[in-house]
Amino acid sequence: MEIHKYVNKIKDFILDTIFPTKCIGCNIKNQILCNDCIRKISLNEREIEGGISAVFNYQDPIIKKAIWELKYHHKRYIGEKLGQLLYEYLIEDISDIKMSVPGRSIYVVPTPISIGKTKTRGYNQALVLSKSFCDSCENKVFEIQNKIVIKKLDTIPQAKITNRKKRLENVRGVFEIKNKEIVKGRTIIVIDDVTTTGGTMLEIMKVLKKAGAKKVYGFAVAH
């Protein structure tokens, strides 16, 4: 596992040196995603379903490309930018959540991926997003909890299933809570890159609630 990580790191470094960063949307130099392009990305209606908010419309070519590069071309820095945007665009919702639990840290749970995928990709993109999301908050009320939700089983990728009911069935029972004690009474935000029908997120939210979480929200970059 460690070797994979280093190989990917070296690859990232070499590629970044040969090809300096260019904006995903317009190729302007030294920008990951420039402000002009960010403003052009189409937004979603705020809430998708059952406490899930997804900022950008996944059909938008810029956001689609950004997520593709993050997941399949080892461009972790794109995830850092997207995590920051997730925070900025949901700032109102975040303020409300913060006010509901004054003085208490809010847990951030990245949607887990299988061990196999983590190995080949070198990282979990949801963890990259989550870290940058938490770092965007000045008063540090967020605490990453990367180990409490475990993906027990490998599943067929949700994107490959067109039927909504089958998608929900596909993820049922797949996630497990590692440490129920620390979940009890907490307010939690689950983070992912894309939510299609919300199936994966809803399932994680469900198991967290079952383990005793007080309130669980889902934040995704795109839908």
φ, ψ dihedrals at 160, nearest 5°:
-85, -5
**Looking only at residues 107 through 166 of this chain, which bind Zn ion when binding is defined by CB under 5 A?**
none
Which x/- pattern, by CB under 5 A, does the window 29-68 give for Zn ion?
A: -----x--x-------------------------------
Pull the structure tokens for residue 97.
């959540």
Residue span binding Zn ion (CB under 5 A) among the ranges 9-17, 28-36, 98-106, 166-174: 28-36
Compute the least distance from the CB of residue 11 to Zn ion, in Å.
25
77 vs 137, beta carbon nearer Zn ion: 77
Verify binding: residue 26, Zn ion, rule CB under 5 A.
yes
Query: Which C-beta is closer to Zn ion: that of 33 or that of 86?
Result: 33
Nearest to Zn ion of 26, 156 (CB atom)? 26
> Considering the complex, what minimum distance in angstroms separates the CB of residue 81 from Zn ion?
12
Q: Which residue type occupies 68?
A: W
Quick one: 34 or 108, whose CB is closer to Zn ion? 34
Length of the chain equals 223
What is the contact surface with Zn ion in residues (CB under 5 A)?
A: 23, 25-26, 34, 37
